[in-house]
Amino acid sequence: MNDSTNWRTVERTCVFCNQNYLPKTNWQKTCSYECGYALQNQKKVRGQTNFGECARCGASLANKRANAIYCSKTCKCMDHTYKHRPKTRIVNTARRVEIYKRDNGQCYMCHEKLPLEKIELDHLVPVSRGGTSDSKNVAVSCQFCNRSRGNRIELAQLQKISELRMRA
pLDDT at 99 over 70: yes
> For residues 141 and 119, is the Cβ–Cβ distance under 8 A?
yes
Cβ atoms within 10 Å, residue 156: 19
Condensed to tens digits (0 to 9), the pLDDT of residues 39-79 reads: 777 655 455 667 778 877 888 887 777 777 788 888 877 76
Residue 148 to residues 37, 38, 72, 152, 159, Cα–Cα distance (Å): 45, 46, 33, 10, 18
Q: Which domain holds residue 102?
A: 85-167
Q: How far apart are CA 139 and CA 129, in angstroms?
A: 17
105: in domain: yes
163: in domain: yes
Q: How far apart are CA 79 and CA 142, in angstroms?
A: 26
pLDDT in the model for residue 79: 61
- Which residues is 13 bridged to in the sheet? 20
159: in domain: yes
Q: What is the mean pLDDT of the chain?
A: 80
161: in domain: yes
> For residues 128 and 165, is the Cβ–Cβ distance under 8 A?
no
pLDDT in the model for residue 96: 87
pLDDT at 88 over 80: no
pLDDT in the model for residue 140: 93
**Closest by alpha carbon to 105, among 90, 118, 95, 124?**
118
Report if pTM > 0.75: no
E-only strand ranges, the chain: 12-13, 20-21, 120-123, 138-141
More confident residue, 156 or 83: 156
| Residue 26 φ then ψ, to 5° | -65, -30
Condensed to tens digits (0 to 9), the pLDDT of residues 23-35 reads: 888 888 899 988 8
pLDDT at 86 over 60: no
Per-residue pLDDT band at 158 (split at 50, 70, 90): confident
pLDDT at 145 over 60: yes
121: in domain: yes
114: in domain: yes
Instruction: Output 34-39 pairs: Cβ under 8 A, ≥24 positions apart.
Output: 38/63, 39/15
- CATH number of the CATH domain containing 149: 3.40.1800
Count: domains in the chain:
1
**Residues found in the chain:** 168
137: in domain: yes
pLDDT at 97 over 80: yes
52: in domain: no
> For residues 107 and 142, is the Cβ–Cβ distance under 8 A?
yes
